[in-house]
Amino acid sequence: MKRLAWLFAVAALFGLTALIAHQGAADVAPVLAQAGWPLLLLLPLHALPLVLDAQGWRTLLQAALPDARPSLPFLWWVATVREAVNRLLPTASVGGELVGIRLARLRHDDTAAVAASIVTEVMVTMFAFYLFTVFGVLALLASTQAAHGWAIIGGLLLSLAGPLAFGLALRHGALFTRLAALARGMLGERLAALLGNAARLDAHVQSLLRRPRVLALALLWQMAGLLLGTAEVWLALRLFGHEATFWQALFIEALTQAARQVAFFVPAGLGVQEAVVLLLAELLGIGPQVALALALVKRAREILFGVPALLSWQWLELRRWRKGSATRAGGATP
């Protein structure tokens, strides 16, 4: 699996390089120069949607651990690491959740409850992305009067089967009890142990799914974060001199996110994200130079925001390893 992931990564990197060469990197430089240093504002701006995302997770974690008081700043940091792992490492968009369970256990010992909050959050996120994509398609139909609008809406209705099936499997299927043996075979005992007792995990997940108010509140936080994330695209296009509307930015952001979810097997979405941004921008009449500049800025923001998060995680792991080594050495007999 690791070799296949790296093969996808190399192929995607070549595809991204070819895409940039085809569009003409020299033509993009003046667009980036026009925007100048205000592009750096995208870094702190991205922190705000993650705060809302972390608050949605906090809502679920508080419901799973009634006696706990999860710290929002801590969960925000874990959310930055989770996003960085999923977006920058070849983990097929699941490694971030495993890392999130590991890090959240530093503050909350109930592994099954922590894992249940993240599993339920994944389900809520699927519905949030679905609604966000619906908003994006409606924005497309309103902005461009695209043909075959009913066919697009019909396709969206059919795609709802995926989130619904996942939700029903969690609610009625004792999913993790049945998959426990498979998880041990595929992930190994240590990674499977992160999920804790499978029966308790199922019980916690089903308990959360019986609380519609908690689920609705988490969904609202998720949707608020996704909508706020649209400001990144809107601001970048404005800095590039394109008078984009909020609905145009919403269309680009929503369908780009949807494409990355579909192409989860491509590490970091290399090439996929850029190609989709170019295609969507063309539908809106945005020039290829501006579109490629937008795609490159989004990629640069992911790296500049995600790499420090990954380094902070590794620094924490190194500290824990050194502390454990010192404890073992101190307890050893001469």
- Domain boundaries along the sequence of the chain: 2-309
Within the chain, what is the greatest distance between any pair of CA atoms? 79
Q: How many Å is the Cα radius of gyration of the chain?
A: 21
Which amino acid is present at 318?
Answer: L
Beta carbons of 58 and 72 less than 8 angstroms apart: yes
Rounded CA separation 157/174 (Å): 27
pLDDT tens for the chain, residues 1 to 334: 445 444 545 555 555 555 555 555 566 677 778 778 888 888 899 999 999 999 999 999 999 888 888 899 999 999 999 999 988 877 666 788 889 988 998 888 888 888 889 988 988 888 898 888 888 887 777 766 555 555 566 666 666 666 666 666 666 655 555 555 555 555 555 555 555 577 788 788 888 888 889 999 999 999 999 999 899 999 998 888 888 888 888 888 888 888 777 766 666 666 677 778 888 887 788 887 888 888 888 888 988 999 999 999 999 999 888 887 777 666 654 4
DSSP-assigned letter for residue 145: -
Residues 206 and 170: beta-carbon distance below 8 Å: yes
Rounded CA separation 87/109 (Å):
27
The pTM score is 0.80
How many beta carbons lie within 10 A of that of residue 196, not counting itself? 20
Cβ(114)–Cβ(101) below 8 Å: yes
How far apart CA 149 and CA 160 sit, in angstroms, is 17
Q: What is the DSSP string of 210-254?
A: T-HHHHHHHHHHHHHHHHHHHHHHHHHHHHTT----HHHHHHHHH
Looking at residue 188, its amino acid is G
pLDDT, position 82: 93
Output the pLDDT for position 157. 62
